[in-house]
Structure 1
Amino acid sequence: METSNEQISAALEQLYFTGIYEGNTDMLRQVMHPGTLLFGDVKGQPYAKTLDQYLDGVANRQSPRDSGKPFKGEIIGVDAVNTIATARVRVKMYDFYYDEFLAFHKLDGRWVIVNKMISDIS
């Protein structure tokens, strides 16, 4: 049986990173809770979005795959306690590097992102 860390890592690799890379909002909806809120800073500017606002941006931009620029999603670490967890990831896309802190909750047997905090470290 997979551990929580393995399940979260699989969700990140199979749904989150792939969804971002392909611009696939259906995949992202599978791994993100409908109430997910996103906060952080991009290019030194405050960033705050609802999940719908974020997915609208994903749907209406050129995907990293279609841009032809390098993309890499890397899991730095996962820490789970019972039905809650955090993951720290680094995402290289377009000409940016993002450090991200993702909060997960296990709901109905699935690990889903309930909060995403990002910082552009380019």
Structure 2
Amino acid sequence: MLFDGLYYGNTELLGQVFHPGALYATATEGGGDGELLRLDMHEYFTVVRRREPPAARGEARRDHVVSVEFAGPVTALARVESSMGQRRYRDLL
């Protein structure tokens, strides 16, 4: 669901993946100076809805789950990698 949601720009799918209280955080999009960009899910989904999805541009797609580490019965860390077009992503979820 995560990879499809990102590729097709489908925030309904992404809403099934992310906890409503989750935060999107990155240091690479904050102006190039390492400034941290943080968005709550409402803000992040607004960004996703406004941009043209990679699928609409016919971009090639590769994605996979690298690992899932469980820290407890309801807590886990997923390491995923994906690429769409020429961009590569490595995410910790």
**CA distance in 2: counterparts of 1:65 and 1:25, whole angstroms:** 14
Pairs aligned (count) = 88
The runs of at least 4 aligned residues of structure 1 exceeding 4 Å deviation read none
**CA distance in 1: counterparts of 2:60 and 2:2, whole angstroms:** 17
Map of 1:101 onto structure 2: 92
* Identical columns (%): 31
Map of 1:60 onto structure 2: 50
Map of 1:117 onto structure 2: none
Q: Which is bigger in relative contact order (C-alpha 8 A, separation at least 6)?
A: 1
Higher strand share: 1
Counterpart of 1:86 (choices 66, 71, 77) is 77
Counterpart of 2:16 (choices 12, 30, 40) is 30
Given the two structures, how large is their TM-score scaled by the length of structure 2?
0.84
What amino acid is the match of 1:61?
R
Q: Provide structure 1 residue ranges, at least 5 long, that are not aligned to the other structure.
A: 1-14, 103-122
Aligned CA-pair RMSD: 1.5
